[in-house]
Amino acid sequence: METTFEQQLERPVKSVLADFPALGALLGEFRIGCVDCGVGSCKFKEIEDIHRLAPEAERDLWTRLARIIEPGRTAQLPVRERAPAAPAASASPPIRQLVAEHRWILRWAAVIPRLAAELDLNREEDRRTVLAGVDFIRHYADRRHHGKEEDILFRYFDSGLDVLQAMLTDHVAGREHVRAIEAGVAARDDAAVREHLLAYAVLIREHIRKEDDILFPWLDRQLLDSQVGQMYAQFLEADRRFDRDPRQLENFVAELEARFDAAPAAAAR
Amino acid sequence: MNFQGCPGSRMMDMRRPAADGAPAAAPGSTPSQLRQWPVQLHLISPMAPYYQGADVVLTADCVAYALGGYHAEHLKGKAIAIACPKLDDGQDVYVEKIRSWFDDAKINTLTVMIMEVPCCRGLSALARRALESAARKVPVKEVVVGLDGTIRQSEWLGA
Ligand SMILES: [Fe+2]
Ligand SMILES: [Fe+2]
């Protein structure tokens, strides 16, 4: 590799990791999960800004990354001179609302394996339960929740951002699973319904983990107070226009948990 | 050091060399970000036009003296009121005025800026009481300023 550490900084993190697999373990040590991240579109130099480390840890991380890429040379580290930064504000009210909706979606995802394991579409009750799950995903997870993300939150940012595109791709993939689940119920195809239910659960859990742990804190840090206020008002308006009772949709999850004797606290972390 | 008495009024000497080598700005050359008068919470009307739909910063009296960048970093683009939760009388009037910001002036956000001394928390408590009594919910943020002029904490209290 004749490229320097400084040149590597401008490359997508996935490409740098492919050339230097040893970097993965080091990033993992700092709880930066680029290796398993499905997005991987960040530039190498952006990883710290997105994941936010304490200044000493940041310097330590870059020093060790540079040593792996160019052993024996003192590289120019991309450590930003930060003003003794004001502590980041806690999550803003609109972001908290999205995170609260995530808890219900995660609770639903957590009972899916139990539902899938016992699934028998010849039973009327199972068909009704799966279709109620489809209803929950379509109206609560997708229209109500992803609607706020796509139509409100993401609009405050550059729509070309790869990480936002990756989130939209996940939303679309979720919708495809839902269509397949519905078709599977109509065809009484246990195997297809099971497969797409489980795939949806894996997809949505990973999607929410990325949003809760990385994307939302990063977006929240960039929002001005005035934008937080506007977004909060827009969320209230979106909820006012929502034509279903969200409690009734949440109750579907709670009842399913009761049926499978699942502990909601564990599912919601 | 004497730890007796109220920490909010305990004397501290924080003298340091002036302005770390930065050239002194020419007198009058730092623009003010103030866009209204009056500013004291007893004197303002919550229905004044500059509060309509505004981002409002309710600032404890001492904050602007402690924070070097108050105008540029915190007041810019916002409407203001100032108050002292320790010394001011008639604080029920304050709660009612803050509630009126939420419900009548339909402000966009409220930021309460206080000093780190314990008695200053009273101003956040007034804002919380007003928010609880308001029909309209608005994001409220609390910013705590250290005696050394740094931001100690910045937290969304809720909506
Ligand atoms: Fe999402
Ligand atoms: Fe989400």
CA distance A114 to A130: 12
The string of DSSP letters for A110-155 reads HHHHHHHHT--TTSHHHHHHHHHHHHIIIIIIIIIIIHHHHHTGGG
For residue B48, give its domain range.
33-158
Tens-digit pLDDT profile for chain B (159 aa)?
445 677 788 888 888 876 555 667 788 889 999 999 999 999 999 999 999 999 999 999 999 999 999 999 999 999 999 999 999 999 999 999 999 999 999 999 999 999 999 999 999 999 999 999 999 999 999 999 999 999 999 999 988
Per-residue pLDDT at A40 exceeds 80:
no
pLDDT of the residue at B18: 67
Q: Is B40 helix (H, G, I), strand (E, B) or coil?
A: strand
What is the C-alpha separation between A77 and A58, in angstroms, rounded? 10
- The answer, for B152 touching chain A at a CB cutoff of 8 Å, is yes
Q: Cα dist. A75→A3, A62, A266 in Å?
A: 12, 9, 45
Q: Is A125 exposed, middle or buried (0-12, 13-18, 19+ CB in 10 A)?
A: exposed
A254 vs A248: CA distance, rounded Å: 10
Residue A244, pLDDT score? 96
Task: Say yes or no for a CB contact (<8 Å) between B55 and A91.
Answer: no
pTM above 0.90, yes or no: no
Task: Report the alpha-carbon distance of residue B120 to residue B122 in Å, rounded.
Answer: 5
A74-87 burial: b if 16+ Cβ within 10 Å, else e: ebebbeeeeeeeee
Angle subtended at Cα A147 by Cα A142 and Cα A148, rounded to the nearest 5 degrees: 125
Superfamily of domain A88-268: nmb1532 protein domain like (1.20.120.520)
- The answer to whether A86 contacts B154, with C-beta atoms less than 8 Å apart, is yes
- B5 domain-assigned: no
Q: Which of A68-82, A123-137, B116-130 has the lowest mean pLDDT?
A: A68-82
Is A226 close to B138, i.e. CB distance below 8 A? no
Residue B97 lies in a domain: yes
Beta-bridged to residue B40, according to DSSP, are B82
Question: How is residue A12 annotated by DSSP?
Answer: B
Q: Is the peptide bond before B17 cis (omega within 30 degrees of 0)?
A: no
Establish if B27 belongs to a structural domain: no
User: Does B13 map to a domain?
Assistant: no
CATH of domain A5-69: 1.10.3910
Among B77, B78, B153, select the one facing A87 at the smallest CB separation.
B153
What is the structure's pLDDT at A209? 97
Could you state, in order of their start, the residue ranges of all structural domains in chain A?
A: 5-69, 88-268
A90 CB neighbours in chain B (<8 A) are 154-156
Total domain count, chain B: 1
Pairwise CB contact (< 8 Å): B150 & A91: no
- The CATH number that applies at residue B44 is 3.40.50
Three-point CA angle A212, A213, A218, nearest 5°: 90
Domain-located, residue B71: yes
- CB contact B154 to A (< 8 Å): yes
